[in-house]
Structure 1
């Protein structure tokens, strides 16, 4: 805790960058729902709202944060801020006694990154470096990083474990941005033993909070499969495009390891606990997935069963940057974090449908 001029102390805080977005908001609510564990911590969120909806220009907090406060009856400190703004970030660190940072803020669509590489490198790499500079300035060295299985590139073997080479066969600027950030973190940890970095390599987050009140609400046309399927099911989009059916997979469509976003959020809570272990430091990469892959057509069939809706789709050409299949070896997350995914594909589809059918326009109420 940081002492104040009057002798009092600030409560310790967890800073969540990009905390109004999809995975960030579910991690924020997971932290607040841990009664007793983090009840003495303030939760501080910074987000530039590039992919989060705010009800009106004069609304102080985005809708996802407002709903979380309503569900938990707790207050979240929110700053509408881009992490490339070092001066703005410094104000956040001045106002709060930051103990550790969970870093989500980034652009995240593989296909879009091929079309807009400069924007992805600016947001994901420059933004991350600026965050690290401000953390170092204020003596904060504990970081949980939102990484990605795309750092592995074209798989040399499956399932993908953390010992698989990274950076060799990367297929998109998005994947390269995550890989470059991991390399920067490794160099930081080598240069100064105070740094503690846990890089969580996600596979494919899907699903929604069990309340049906928060879920994935992408701006514009979705770039990821599940929100696209959900928007077709609810009638916002007319049909799904399936990018390629000539991959060497069970049915020719791409295979991915889908993980429920609430399981993923709980993985972050488990990761923070590692900082409390005596002698813990350095860089550690950990996969978060289920260890099971599903094809696009299998995902469509599962969602049709959960929603009772037919999902019209059209097969189109392969999308630049995509690979045939990837799924995780998750044994390290079991050993190191004491974590494993518990929710099934049926849970993922049912919770997504509960969110989308209750909120056909996402957080935007029309």
Structure 2
């Protein structure tokens, strides 16, 4: 019986790109997703692009019986855990919902994994666990803190997984701390399809460019940065997907737990991104300066050398790739997966 990699949240933005990457690398993939913030259409397109089938199961990671059924039916060798709610603003309004879904859901997943003796896990963490870091670029050894319930949920899960490995050293876990994922597959067939108003900069820029929104609000131009707007480390989602493939290969051979940044190590400001999008794609992106958002920090970018040392991974895609691929996806799919 061939072994499968289970992707929780496999139909989401990063999950779908990782599913495509894994299929192309020869893995058998199962997506387990409740489609609360994703579309089945993404997985159909992944299959078309890969020229291979995957198994898609509609389920919630908090549902222990549903997870148990999947592990009973299929020979699962490892799990890549994407499933989670991820809107910072919403998390401040619905903290219990975030802790239940993200933290309790992960505990349930680990309990089922342990029952079936599947102890290889790649966890989708976040640079939010660094809070407002005092030193940039941010290394994995930077102190952790969080400024909102979403970030707290990621940090809590990291602590839970660390405790699990202390108690049961035969687990192999990679905590992948993403910086700011952007872009889309170069085919334009799969990409970021946020529900309602986008929380992230790039889908907002592309929705303004395509005419879905009037203008971009740039929150704050008085930060201590070169142009006064917030600086972030934007990483192409295809590079990010490759990072998961490399992390899976790493945990096959290395028990224990490692936290690894996935970023470029380069910071771009909000206005850098607007300018690049506009110039490369020859399209106007009107914007207005608005007041700062509470909880936003001035500068955040990765020290990415650990990923190169441990995983043999570094980013390949340029800023031009990021804005071109985002625009191709948006232009071909003005309403996302809802045609």
TM-score by length of 1: 0.91
Confirm or deny that 1:333 pairs with 2:307: yes
Q: CA deviation digits over 1:31-66, x for unaligned, max 9? A: 1112xxx3xx4210001111113xxxxxxxx00000
Q: Shift of residue 90 of structure 1?
A: 0.6
The number of aligned residues is 339
Give, in whole Å, the separation in 2 of the partners of 1:240 and 1:81.
35
Contact 1:111 1:321 in 2 (8 A): no
Deviating above 6 A after TM superposition, structure 1's stretches of 4 or more consecutive aligned residues are: none
Contact 1:16 1:46 in 2 (8 A): yes
Q: CA deviation digits over 1:267-287, x for unaligned, max 9? A: 00001111232xx21110000
Confirm or deny that 1:93 pairs with 2:71: yes
Confirm or deny that 1:252 pairs with 2:228: yes
Confirm or deny that 1:227 pairs with 2:227: no
Give the alignment of 1:311-322 within 5 angstroms: 311-322=285-296
Give the alignment of 1:1-366 within 5 angstroms: 10-34=1-25, 38=26, 41-53=27-39, 62-167=40-145, 170-277=146-253, 280-365=254-339
Q: Shift of residue 314 of structure 1?
A: 1.7
Q: CA RMSD in A?
A: 0.9
Q: Shift of residue 25 of structure 1?
A: 0.3
TM-score by length of 2: 0.98
Give, in whole Å, the separation in 1 of the partners of 2:94 and 2:228.
28
Structure 1: gaps (5+ residues):
1-9, 54-61
Q: Shift of residue 200 of structure 1?
A: 0.4
Contact 2:10 2:16 in 1 (8 A): yes
